[in-house]
Amino acid sequence: MGAFFLNNPISVAPNLLTKTSNFMCDWCCIDGSLMWKKNKNKNMVLYCQSSSGIVKTSNGLPAILTERSSSSPIPSMAADQSSGLIDAGSLVLSPNSKIQEDVAAKDLVPYSSTTNKSFMEFPEGIGIVRFLKGKQLLITGATGFLGKVLIEKILRTVPDVGKIYVMIKAKSKEAAVERLKSEIITTQLFKCLQQTHGQSYKTFMLSKLIPVLGNVCESNLGIEPDLADEIANEVDIIVNSAANTTFDERYDVALDINTQGPYRLMTFAKRCTKLQLFLQVSTAYVNGQRQGRILEKPFCIGESIARERVTSEILTGSLPVLDVKAEIKLALESREALQENLVAQKMKELGLERARIFGWQDTYVFTKAMGEMLIDNMRGEIPVAIIRPSVIESTYKEPFPGWMEGNRMMDPIVLYYGKGQLTGFLVDPEGVLDVVPADMVVNATLAAMAKHGATGKPGINIYQIASSVVNPLVFQDLAGLLFEHFSSSPYMDSRGRPIQVPKMKLFSSMCDFSSHIWTEAVQRSGRVLAPDVSSQGKLSKRLDTICRKSVEQAKYLANIYEPYTFYGGRFDNSNTQKLMEVMSEEERRSFAFDVGSIDWRDYISNVHIPGLRRHVMKGRGTCTAN
Ligand SMILES: NC(=O)c1ccc[n+]([C@@H]2O[C@H](COP(=O)([O-])OP(=O)(O)OC[C@H]3O[C@@H](n4cnc5c(N)ncnc54)[C@H](OP(=O)(O)O)[C@@H]3O)[C@@H](O)[C@H]2O)c1
Cα–Cα nearest to 281, from 146, 164, 131: 146
pLDDT at 413: 85
Identify the pLDDT of residue 3.
33
Verify whether ligand 1 is closer than 6 Å to residue 217 (CB atom).
Answer: yes
> Is the C-beta atom of 242 inside 6 A of ligand 1?
yes
% of the chain surpassing 70 pLDDT: 77
Ligand 1 contacts CB of residue 281 (under 6 A): yes
Q: How many CB atoms lie within 10 A of CB 22?
A: 11
Per-residue model confidence (pLDDT) at position 320: 87
- Best CA proximity match to 276, nearest among 159, 381, 129: 381
For residue 412, the model assigns a pLDDT of 85
CA-nearest residue, atom 15 of ligand 1: 145
Q: What are phi and psi of 371, to 5 degrees?
A: -60, -45
User: Would the CB of 92 count as within 6 Å of ligand 1?
Assistant: no
Give the confidence band of 526 by pLDDT, cuts at 50, 70, 90. low
User: Hey, where are the domains in the chain?
Assistant: 128-401+433-471+568-598
Q: From the alpha carbon of 148, which atom of ligand 1 is closest? A: 16
Taking CA atoms only, the protein residue closest to ligand 1 atom 13 is 146
Q: What are the DSSP calls for 24-74, one per residue?
A: HHHHHT-STTEEEEEETTTTEEEEEEETTSPPP--TT-----BS--TTSPP
Of ligand 1's listed atoms, the one at least distance from the Cα of 146 is 16
pLDDT tens digits for 159-201? 999 999 999 999 999 999 999 999 999 999 999 999 999 999 9
* CB distance 147 to ligand 1 below 6 Å: yes
Average pLDDT over residues 96-115: 37
Q: Is 391 in the pocket of ligand 1 (CB under 6 A)?
A: yes
Q: Which helix (H) or strand (E) holds 585?
A: helix 585-590
CB of 243 closer than 6 angstroms to any ligand 1 atom: yes
- How far, in Å, from the CA of 245 to the mean position of ligand 1? 7
Q: How far is the CA of 111 from the centre of ligand 1 (A)?
A: 30
Going from the Cα of 35 to the center of ligand 1, the distance in angstroms, rounded, reads 34
The CA distance from 28 to 44, in Å, is 13
pLDDT in tens, 88-97: 333 322 222 3
364 catalytic? Reply is yes
Model confidence pLDDT, tens digit, residues 254-269: 999 999 999 999 999 9
pLDDT at 315: 74
What whole-number percentage of the chain has pLDDT above 90?
A: 65
CA angle in degrees (0–180, nearest 5) for 551-552-553: 90
Distant-in-sequence, close-in-space partners of 600: CB < 8 Å, separation ≥ 6: 111, 471, 473, 477, 478, 481
What would the pLDDT profile of 527-585 be if each residue is shown by its tens digit? 555 555 555 556 677 778 888 887 887 787 778 788 899 999 999 999 999 999 999 99
Q: What is the mean pLDDT of residues 373-397?
A: 98
Q: Enumerate residues 6+ apart whose C-beta is below 8 A from 359.
A: 288, 289, 304, 305, 306, 307, 308, 309
- 321-332: per-residue pLDDT in tens? 999 999 999 999
Q: Of 165, 364, 463, 564, which is the active-site residue?
A: 364
Pick the CATH number of 128-401+433-471+568-598 from 3.50.50.60, 3.40.50.720, 3.40.50.1110, 3.30.2320.80: 3.40.50.720
Minimal-distance CA residue to ligand 1 atom 19 = 144
DSSP string, 490-521: PPB-TTSPBPP-PPPEEESSHHHHHHHHHHHH
CA of 590 to the centre of ligand 1 (A): 25
Q: How far apart are CA 345 and CA 329, in angstroms?
A: 18
Q: What are the pLDDT digits (tens) for 471-510?
A: 999 999 999 999 999 999 999 998 899 999 999 999 999 9
Note the pTM of the prediction, 2 decimals. Answer: 0.83
Distance 492 CA to ligand 1 centre (A): 33
- State how far the Cα of 267 lies from the Cα of 271, in Å rounded to an integer: 7
Cα distance between residue 317 and residue 337, in whole Å:
30
- Average pLDDT estimate for 140-164: 98
Note the pLDDT of residue 110.
37
* CB-count burial class (<10 Å; 0-12, 13-18, 19+) for 325: exposed
Q: Is any ligand 1 atom within 6 A of the Cβ of residue 143?
A: yes
* Residue from 148, 153, 368, 451 carrying the catalytic annotation: 368
Q: Which residues contact 623 (CB under 8 A, 6 or more apart)?
A: 492, 496, 498
CA distance 342 to 349: 11
78 Cα–ligand 1 center, Å: 31
Cα gap 367→475, rounded to integer Å: 27
pLDDT of 99 over the 80 cut: no
- Helix, strand, or coil (residue 445): helix
SS3 95: coil
Q: Is residue 137 a contact partner of residue 237, using CB atoms and an 8 Å limit? A: yes
- Residue of 65, 93, 94, 145 to test ligand 1 pocket, by largest number of atoms within 8 Å of CB: 145
Ligand 1: centre distance to CA 68 (Å): 8
**Helices first, then strands: H and E counts in the chain:** 24, 17
Q: Ligand 1 in contact with 392 (CB < 6 A)?
A: yes
Task: Using the mean position of ligand 1's atoms as its centre, give its distance from the Cα of residue 115 in Å.
Answer: 31
Contact 94, 559 (CB under 8 A): yes
**Ligand 1 close to Cβ of residue 138 (< 6 A):** no
Average pLDDT value over all residues in the chain: 81
Please, which residues have CB within 8 angstroms of residue 357's CB and are 6 or more apart in sequence? Answer: 53, 306, 320
What is the chain's percent helix, strand, coil content, to nearest 5? 45, 15, 40
- Round to whole Å and give the CA distance between 298 and 302: 12
Residue 531: cis peptide before it, omega within 30 degrees of 0: no
Which of 146, 148, 213, 561 for a ligand 1 pocket mutation test, highest count of atoms within 8 Å of Cβ? 146
Minimum-distance ligand 1 atom for the alpha carbon of 147:
16
Q: Mean pLDDT, to the nearest integer, of 296-325? A: 88
Residue 83, SS3 per DSSP:
helix
Report whether residue 222 contacts ligand 1, using a CB cutoff of 6 Å.
Answer: no
Task: Give the distance, in angstroms, between the CA of residue 571 and the centroid of all CA atoms in the same chain.
Answer: 15
3-class secondary-structure state, position 20? helix
- Nearest residue by C-alpha to atom 26 in ligand 1: 242
Task: Average the pLDDT over 274-298 and give the result.
Answer: 97
Residues 433/478, Cβ–Cβ less than 8 Å: yes
- Give residue 240 CA to ligand 1 midpoint distance, Å: 9
- Which pLDDT does position 617 carry in this prediction? 86
pLDDT, tens only, 3-26: 333 333 222 233 333 333 333 332
pLDDT over 50 (residue 98): no
The SS3 assignment for 186 reads: coil
pLDDT at residue 544, rounded to an integer: 82
> For residue range 419-470, what is the model confidence (pLDDT) as tens digits?
988 889 999 999 999 999 999 999 999 999 999 999 999 999 999 999 999 9
Say what the pLDDT of residue 95 is: 26
Answer yes or no: 47 catalytic: no
What is the predicted pLDDT for the residue at 119?
Answer: 52
Residue 121 confidence (pLDDT):
64
The alpha-carbon radius of gyration of the chain (Å, integer) is 24
- Closest atom, ligand 1, to C-alpha of 140: 34
* Ligand 1 atom, smallest distance to 364 CA: 47
367 in ligand 1 pocket by Cβ < 6 Å? no
Ligand 1 pocket check for 146: Cβ under 6 Å:
yes
Residue 377, Cβ neighbours under 10 Å: how many?
A: 15
Atom of ligand 1 nearest to the CA of 169: 40
Pick the residue whose CA is nearest to atom 17 on ligand 1: 144
CB 420 within 8 A of CB 499: yes
CA dist., res. 345 & res. 253, Å (int): 12
Whether 479 contacts 506, CB under 8 Å: yes
| Of 143, 148, 178, best ligand 1 pocket probe by most atoms within 8 Å of the beta carbon | 143
Position 64 pLDDT exceeds 60: no
Please give the distance, rounded to the nearest whole angstrom, from the Cα atom of residue 483 to the centre of ligand 1.
31
Return the ligand 1 atom nearest residue 217 CA. Answer: 31
Distance 171 CA to ligand 1 centre (A): 19
